[in-house]
Amino acid sequence: MSEGSKGSSLAFGQVVIGPPGSGKTTYCHGMQEFMGRIGRKVTVVNLDPANEVMPYQCAVDIAELITLPDVMENLKLGPNGGLIYCMEYLEANFDWLQEKLAAFKGHYYLFDCPGQVELYTHHDALKNVFAQLAKWNFRLAAVHLVDSHYCTDPGKFISVLCTSLSTMLHVELPHVNVLSKMDLIEQYGKLAFNLDYYTEVLDLSYLVDHLASDPFFRNYRRLNEKLVEVVEDYGLVSFVPLNVQDKESMRQVMQAVDKANGYSFGDQEHRSLEALMSAAVGADFHFTSTLAVQEKYVQSQDKAVEEEVMDL
């Protein structure tokens, strides 16, 4: 097998990235199960050397090559420096990864990546790994997970927008940003705007105005205005809401990723998907509707407008 090619056939997959606690491993588990139900052969590759508990069926594990605890102990590095070293070590051992992946030819790949933000915003090791996979005829899309609770804090949401944009520009892959844990969003507080405002990243001047009501952020209004201008000028950032226990939500994310990396499934997979979406919910899948969250905010917004009209 030559260095520049993995063969004449294409391989498709996702690199699942995002900050710690955003739900990357849970996403890989849910997507592996969801795709398996429609007949897609899925191989999960764990590239996180700190990931010791994996609920999914892991076919390739970086722990066979290197682990974060060993690096921290032997090289006296902290967790951040250790993760960077592990990714540089993986980059220096492409042959190991190539040999492991060759055993699953014809599969769809999910790469569960580490949760260190620096690896996706300015460090080159993982970016180079993704570029090498492309040389092996992998057609990948980056799935960038962001915890949806950041929507409840305008300051944090602006930070998330900047991080997402920086990641998109640095990683250089077709990109799908995902707001994860949508089923838990109400536990963190009420949204200032309708959910569409956050997923479609609409006029961000309203977000700056909302921040100005906080005495702390009022002093940084000019800075926030410039930050949102950068995000809006690029016009790249938008989000797909996700609840991994909602099959409609999983379908929407899967189709967004398939569109991004160019994957096209056949009639049999299409029929299996239609059957899954129309089937009654089984005891082993506790699906709820992500759309119910959005509908609640729409209804509450409509009610507020009605009350204002009545007051007039």
Give yes or no: residues 226 and 128 share one domain. Answer: no
In the numeric block, which tokens belong to residue 36?
Answer: 């398996």
What angle separates helix 247-261 from helix 267-278, to the nearest 10 degrees? Answer: 160
Give yes or no: residues 139 and 128 share one domain. Answer: yes
pLDDT at 6: 41
Residue 184 structural domain: 11-201+240-265+290-301
Give yes or no: residues 141 and 209 share one domain. Answer: no
Give yes or no: residues 154 and 210 share one domain. Answer: no
d(CA 216, CA 150): 18
Rounded to two decimals, the pTM is: 0.85
- Per-residue pLDDT in tens (0 to 9) along the chain, 312 residues: 444 444 458 999 999 999 998 999 999 999 999 999 999 999 999 999 999 889 999 999 999 999 999 999 999 999 999 999 999 999 999 999 999 999 999 999 999 999 999 999 999 999 999 999 999 999 999 999 999 999 988 899 999 999 999 999 999 999 999 999 988 887 877 888 888 899 999 899 998 998 888 888 888 899 999 999 999 999 999 999 999 989 999 999 999 999 999 998 777 888 888 888 887 544 444 444 444 555 554 455 555 545 555 555
Judge whether 275 lies within some domain: no
Judge whether 147 lies within some domain: yes
C-alpha 283, offset from chain centre: 27
Judge whether 311 lies within some domain: no
Give the type of residue at 182.
M
Give yes or no: residues 81 and 34 share one domain. Answer: yes
pLDDT at 311: 58
pLDDT at 306: 56
Is 117:35 a contact under the CB 8 Å cutoff?
Answer: no
- 287 by Cβ neighbours in 10 Å (0-12 / 13-18 / 19+) ranks as middle
pLDDT at 187: 80
Count of domains in the chain? 2
Residue 20, CA atoms < 13 Å, CB-side half-sphere: 7
3-state secondary structure of 202: coil
Other CB atoms within a 10 A radius of the CB of residue 156 amount to 14
Judge whether 279 lies within some domain: no
Give yes or no: residues 94 and 145 share one domain. Answer: yes
pLDDT at 85: 97
pLDDT at 42: 96
Is 48:115 a contact under the CB 8 Å cutoff?
Answer: yes
Judge whether 278 lies within some domain: no
Sign for the CA dihedral angle at 121, 151, 178, 48 comes to: positive
Judge whether 107 lies within some domain: yes
